[in-house]
Amino acid sequence: MLTNVEHIGIAVRDIATSNELFTRLLNVAPYKSETVESENVTTSFFRVNQTKIELLEATSPDSPIAKFLEKKGEGIHHLAFEVDDIHAEMERLKKEGFILLNETPKRGADNKLVCFLHPKGTNGVLVELCQEIKE
Ligand code: CO
């Protein structure tokens, strides 16, 4: 089951500059900064009440973020929904005909298991499913 929008991902060219910008915009400093080696991205997270914003910067030219910036420029990159059971939700969406970008959940930023849906099937919106890893 999808529960709520967990965060909104924004692709940026320079995360240091954008950290400053979003700190001024949201009036709060990022609570976390993290590099996800498997995705070649550096992320930082801001939280305003229930709402989280994830900034993403490419760490290499073959990063999905580098490709996105090249094609579309800076801006909203993905919409992330929290789910209570990522395996069940992936199964359900697959049956509904959505294209999953990974067949098994992978470890994303901010201690989450994640799966992305192809934007081709979702009106151009890259959708992320995420579930908190509880250990
Ligand atoms: Co995300």
pLDDT at 109: 87
String of DSSP letters for 21-48: HHHHHHTS--SEEEEEGGGTEEEEEEEE
Question: How much is the pLDDT for 39?
Answer: 87
* pLDDT at residue 104, rounded to an integer: 95
Cβ-count burial 34-43 (b if 16+ within 10 Å, e if not): eebeebbbbb
Over range 73-81, report the average pLDDT: 98
Average pLDDT, the chain: 95
Per-residue pLDDT, 128: 97
Distance 80 CA to ligand 1 centre (A): 6
CA of 49 to the centre of ligand 1 (A): 17
Whole-number Å distance, alpha carbon 43 to ligand 1 midpoint, is: 9
Q: What is the mean pLDDT of residues 126-130?
A: 97
- Residue 59: band (very low, low, confident or very high) from pLDDT cuts 50, 70, 90: very high
